[in-house]
């Protein structure tokens, strides 16, 4: 991937992601979210995650979002700018993904996806904001500052436009990271039928 040379071999360097980096983005996010509580609850079979992230990046991320990638592919983040909705593009790829989910996991994932979408919609702030959809480091690279570097890079864009930021956190281990970068918990709730706890977090414009 093209980008600035890192001043230190282990120092994360964050660049903009593009269509040329699609395969790296898909592989990175699929690995980072392999054990994510919400994705595991909705889709217990993580083998579909590459197809899911490819569809997300095609539908919302690369055409209209802010996509950032660590220059060695160690982590990635996807933000949606103000007033840009999250959408999956209709078409053959979506139909194939739905069919694969039904074949491998039955109708449960579609029901749980609807429940998750309903809960998130009820807590989504009405005022314009940047929405952090996904952020993560590959499992082998976690704990090396990659997530923090990605978060700082995204927040610089938010601050440059004087916009607030919003995210949903499903892993309590990540709460201190978000709090250190100015996010406060506005609400928390659990997904139905033993689903994971979710923290809805907000950072005021700076």
pLDDT at position 2 is 39
Which distant-in-sequence residues (6+ apart) come within 8 Å of 22 by Cβ?
A: 54, 57, 62
The enclosing H or E element of 200 equals strand 197-203
Instruction: Give the span between the Cα atoms of 200 and 46, in whole angstroms.
Output: 24
Has residue 10 got a pLDDT over 90?
no
Calculate what percentage of the chain has a pLDDT beyond 70: 96
Average pLDDT over the chain, rounded to an integer: 91
Give 141-166 pLDDT, tens digit per residue.
Answer: 999 999 999 999 999 999 999 999 99
Cα–Cα nearest to 6, from 146, 164, 115, 181: 146
Which distant-in-sequence residues (6+ apart) come within 8 Å of 96 by Cβ?
A: 51
pLDDT at position 105 is 86
Instruction: Report phi then psi at 114, rounded to 5.
Output: -65, -40
Q: What confidence category does residue 19 fall into, taking pLDDT thresholds of 50, 70 and 90?
A: very high
- pLDDT (average), residues 104-130: 93
pLDDT at position 67 is 96
Q: Which fold has domain 14-203?
A: Aminopeptidase (3.40.630)
Has residue 52 got a pLDDT over 70?
yes
Instruction: Report phi then psi at 51, rounded to 5.
Output: -65, -35
- pLDDT (average), residues 112-125: 94
Contact 163, 170 (CB under 8 A): no
Give the torsion sign (CA, 176, 182, 186, 190): negative
Instruction: Give the span between the Cα atoms of 193 and 91, in whole angstroms.
Output: 31
- Listed by start position, the domains of the chain span 14-203
Contact 32, 138 (CB under 8 A): yes
Highest mean pLDDT among 57-61, 108-112, 184-188: 184-188
pLDDT at position 31 is 97
Helices 92-105/108-123 angle, 10° precision: 120
Q: At 186, is the secondary structure helix, strand, or coil?
A: strand
């Amino acid at each position: 991937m093209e980008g600035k040379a890192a001043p230190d071999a282990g120092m994360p360097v964050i660049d903009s992601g593009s269509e040329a980096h699609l395969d790296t983005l898909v592989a990175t996010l699929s690995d980072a979210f392999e054990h994510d509580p919400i994705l595991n609850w909705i889709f217990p079979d993580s083998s579909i995650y590459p197809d899911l992230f490819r569809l997300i990046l095609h539908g919302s991320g690369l055409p209209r979002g802010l996509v950032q990638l660590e220059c060695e592919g160690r982590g990635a983040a996807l933000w949606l700018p103000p007033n840009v909705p999250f959408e999956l593009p209709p078409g053959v790829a979506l139909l194939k993904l739905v069919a694969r989910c039904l074949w491998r996991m039955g109708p449960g994932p579609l029901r749980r996806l609807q429940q998750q979408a309903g809960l998130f919609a009820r807590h989504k702030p009405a005022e314009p904001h940047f929405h952090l959809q996904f952020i993560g480091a590959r499992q082998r690279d976690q704990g090396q500052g990659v997530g923090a570097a990605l978060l700082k890079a995204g927040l610089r864009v938010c601050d440059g436009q004087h916009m607030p930021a919003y995210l949903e956190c499903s892993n309590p281990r990540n709460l201190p990271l978000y709090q250190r970068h100015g996010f406060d918990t506005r609400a928390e709730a659990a997904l139905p039928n033993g689903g994971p706890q979710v923290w809805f977090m907000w950072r005021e414009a700076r």
